[in-house]
Each structure stands twice: as C-alpha cells, then as structure tokens.
C-alpha cells in the first residue's frame, strides 16, 4: 500500500533525475577537498546566497550546531527563540558540542519585541557572560518572517558587535512566499543554514554558507564533529537538482496546503492558527477527545500523520498530490463526524 504521508516534507524520496545524477556524478575525496561535484555545489550555493563560501554537512541539526560551534567560544551566550529548532528539536546539542549558554527569548510566533531583545544583550562582567550570537529562523513553524523585521534584528546585533545565524532549513519556502530571492534573506545574517532534504527532495544534506574565513574554520570543526565525508559527489549531484529545479516548484506545495486548510475548515470545532499558514503546512487543533487516536485511525486507512506538541501539523510536499490531500482530509472529516 502506498501511504499518503503528511508527517513532514522530509519524507520526499529522491526523484528519478536525482538517481540518474548520482549514477553519473564525478567524485573524489572531499576530506582532501578533492570532490569536484561537491566543490561546484558549495561554490554555486555560496554565490546564490551572496556569500563567499559554503560547506556541506549531513543534516540541518549538524549545520546549526556547527554554526554555533564556529561562531562561539565555550561559555558564550546565544540568543534564540524559545520555540526555535535549535533549542526544541536538536537533542540538547548546543551545550554538549559548543558549551554555549542558550538564552531563550519569548516571541509572538517568531517575532521578538525588539526592545526586549536589545535589553537582553549582555557584555562580559565578573558575573555575566557575553552574548556572542543571535539566531533567527525563517520560515519559523509555518510562518514567514518579513525582511524588514530581519533587517532590524540584524542591525541591533551589529550595533552590539554580535554575529547573526539564520536557520534557513526552509529558506526556499520562505523566499517563495515572499516572492524574493534567497540572497535577500541571507543579507541579514552572517551565516545561513539551508536544508536540501526537506521540500527540495534531496536524500541527505544541508549547506552552511558564510564568509571564507568562517567556512575555513567550520571545515576544521566539521571534522571534529565527525562530519568529514569522502565521495560525497553523489549527494552533491542531487543537491544541484534540489536547488536548481525543486526550489522552483514550492508554490505548488504552498497552494496545496491552502487547499488542505480550506477542507479542514469544514470540520466543526477545528482551530487553525492563522499566523502559520505561509508555506507548506497547516497547524491545527480540534476540540474533541477523539483527536488522541486520530493518528492510529488514519494509519489503518493508509495515511501517516505526526501529532505535534499536543495538536497537529500536516505538511504538503512533492510526493503528495491534490487528490491524495482530498482523500486524507475526507478521512479526517469522516473520523470526527
Ligand atoms: C528540519 C529543520 C532543521 C534540521 O533538521 P534535521 O532533521 O537535523 O535535518 C533545522 N531547523 C529547522 C527550522 C528545521 O525545520
């Protein structure tokens, strides 16, 4: 049975073109910077983001943590949203790998009170550590953060001599929703982390972009973290297709998510958060005790979902069609009828 999988866009399987590209990719030993396909992909991605250099790593978590490890010294403070991926979904990695202190600042769904942000920036004294880094995330839990807000955060950080990291796991979705280029978002960060294996459909990989000096340091730190890899040209070949081709079709996923939202709104008692409807996701809750068994029911009918922090997040992607969305939401309606 082919499942309709709404758990995440990470479930997308590589396209036929990616499989063929893998087969034909030129490879070398990337620890010696000898893999021509990977070198090309890193150069291409850096330019696309308006940065000097880039480095490929196994995952988005790896990339964010490598960024923290490279930006900071042990004991430095990093300001991050309380619901950011870095603090909520990275297995407590930051204090383990970088020994940094995370300061989790409360936001209104990804938008900080900027006066509060500025007040929380610390300088080193006998009893306080220094703030070294501010992290943004765009898109943020289904919401796209506006460019003028990013610019304000960046300017506050720079005023205080801080670095800025952007977790852009779904930055192509954000750029699509904003009808702009990824380069425009990358302007407001020193480093950006970009996932290839979510909606873009590549099997593995995230790219971290930044200055030449930063990426050189990150290359050493990647080796410390066990992320030095060998014939990665096969993955870079997929990465090219992800960035050049798959990034151009994301509006279709967004439109499908809006279609799914419309169908879901027909269910009595459903609550949909209107601030999280900018990309390929619908976050919702249902005022009905039966919701706790919805995943089991849907699974028995061939639909996979992931209950999300006590409520639901359904995600559209390349491997789920409009008619499959209709089929899945009809089952949800039937269940609550
Ligand atoms: C998915 C995601 C990551 C990285 O996830 P991995 O599963 O480690 O690749 C990082 N940040 C955000 C916002 C994400 O959605």
* pLDDT 10s digits, 65-113: 999 999 999 999 999 999 999 999 999 999 999 999 999 999 999 999 9
- Is residue 10 classed as helix, strand or coil in its secondary structure? helix
The half-sphere exposure of 6 on its side-chain side, counting CA atoms within 13 A, is 30
169 alpha carbon – ligand 1 mean position (Å)? 6
Of all protein residues, the one whose alpha carbon is nearest to atom 10 of ligand 1 is 60
Q: Which of 7, 59, 61, 109 to mutate to test the pocket of ligand 1 (most atoms within 8 A of CB)?
A: 61
For the domain spanning 4-9+249-336, the CATH number is 3.90.1150.10
331 with 303: CB under 8 angstroms? yes
Dist. CA 88 → ligand 1 center (Å): 10
- C-beta separation of 33 from 39 below 8 A: yes
Would you call the peptide bond into 263 cis, given omega within 30 degrees of 0 as the criterion? no
Position 100 scores a pLDDT of: 98
The Cα 82–Cα 88 span in angstroms is 8
- Per-residue model confidence as pLDDT tens digits over 283-299: 999 999 999 999 999 99
Specify the pLDDT at position 155: 98
Tell the residue nearest (CA) to atom 14 of ligand 1.
169
**Pairing assessment for the beta strands 191-195 and 206-210 based on DSSP bridges:** antiparallel
Residue 1: predicted pLDDT? 77
70 CA distance to ligand 1 middle (Å): 18
CA distance 153 to 132: 14
Task: Tell me how far the alpha carbon of residue 168 lies from the centroid of ligand 1, in angstroms.
Answer: 9
In terms of C-beta density within 10 A (0-12 exposed, 13-18 middle, 19 or more buried), how is residue 14 classed? Answer: middle
Among 92, 166, 167, 208, the mutation site with the greatest number of ligand 1 atoms within 8 A of its Cβ is 167
Distance 60 CA to ligand 1 centre (A): 5
Ligand 1 centre to CA of 7 (Å) is 14
Residues with CB under 6 A from ligand 1: 59-61, 64, 85, 137, 167, 169, 195, 206
Please give the Cα distance from 273 to 292 (Å, whole number): 19
Q: Which CATH number fits domain 14-247: 3.10.129.10, 3.40.50.720, 3.40.640.10, 3.60.10.10?
A: 3.40.640.10
Residue 310: what pLDDT? 74
From first to last of its 337 residues, what are the pLDDT tens digits of the chain?
A: 789 999 999 999 999 999 999 999 999 999 999 999 999 999 999 999 999 999 999 999 999 999 999 999 999 999 999 999 999 999 999 999 999 999 999 999 999 999 999 999 999 999 999 999 999 999 999 999 999 999 999 999 999 999 999 999 999 999 999 999 999 999 999 999 999 999 999 999 999 999 999 999 999 999 999 999 999 999 999 999 999 999 999 999 999 999 999 999 999 999 998 999 999 999 999 999 999 999 999 999 999 999 876 799 999 999 999 999 999 999 999 999 9
Helix (H, G, I), strand (E, B) or coil at 205: coil
CA angle centred on 314, ends 335 and 112, rounded to 5°: 130
The pLDDT assigned to 273 comes to 87
Nearest one of 127, 123, 132 to 94, comparing CA atoms? 132
Q: How far apart are CA 231 and CA 8, in angstroms?
A: 28
Q: Enumerate the CATH 3.90.1150.10 domain ranges in the chain, comma separated.
A: 4-9+249-336
Domain with CATH 3.40.640.10 in the chain: 14-247
The structure's pTM equals 0.97
| pLDDT computed for residue 32 by the predictor | 96
218 sits in the region (left: phi over 0; alpha: psi -120 to 50; else beta) called alpha
């Amino acid at each position: 049975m082919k499942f309709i999988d709404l758990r995440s866009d990470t479930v997308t399987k590589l396209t036929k073109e990616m499989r063929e590209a893998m087969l034909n990719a030129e490879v070398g030993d990337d620890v010696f910077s000898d893999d021509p396909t990977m070198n090309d992909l890193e150069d291409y991605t850096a330019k696309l983001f308006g940065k000097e250099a880039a480095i490929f790593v196994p995952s988005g978590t790896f990339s964010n943590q490598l960024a923290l490890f490279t930006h900071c010294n042990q004991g430095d403070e990093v300001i991050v949203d309380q619901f950011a991926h870095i603090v909520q979904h990275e297995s407590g990695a930051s204090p383990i790998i970088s020994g940094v202190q995370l300061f989790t600042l409360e936001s209104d769904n990804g938008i900080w009170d900027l006066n509060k942000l500025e007040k929380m920036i610390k300088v080193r004294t006998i009893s306080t550590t220094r703030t070294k880094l501010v992290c943004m995330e765009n898109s943020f839990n289904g919401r796209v953060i506006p460019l003028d807000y990013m610019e304000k955060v960046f300017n506050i950080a720079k005023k205080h001599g801080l670095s800025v990291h952007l977790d852009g796991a779904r930055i192509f979705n954000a750029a699509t929703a904003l009808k702009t280029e990824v380069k425009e978002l990358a302007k407001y960060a020193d480093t950006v982390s970009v996932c290839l294996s979510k909606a873009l459909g590549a099997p593995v990989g995230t790219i971290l972009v930044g200055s030449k000096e930063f990426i050189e340091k990150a290359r050493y730190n990647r080796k410390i973290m066990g992320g030095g890899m060998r014939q990665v040209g096969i993955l870079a070949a997929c990465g090219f297709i992800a960035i050049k081709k798959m990034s151009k079709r994301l509006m279709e996923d967004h439109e499908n998510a809006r279609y799914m939202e419309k169908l879901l709104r027909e269910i009595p008692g459903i609550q949909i958060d209107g601030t999280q409807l900018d990309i390929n996701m619908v976050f919702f809750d249902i005022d009905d005790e039966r919701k706790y068994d919805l995943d089991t029911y849907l699974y028995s009918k061939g639909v996979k979902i992931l209950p999300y922090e006590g409520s639901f997040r359904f995600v559209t992607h390349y491997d789920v069609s409009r008619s499959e969305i209709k089929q899945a939401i009809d089952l949800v309606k039937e269940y609550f009828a």
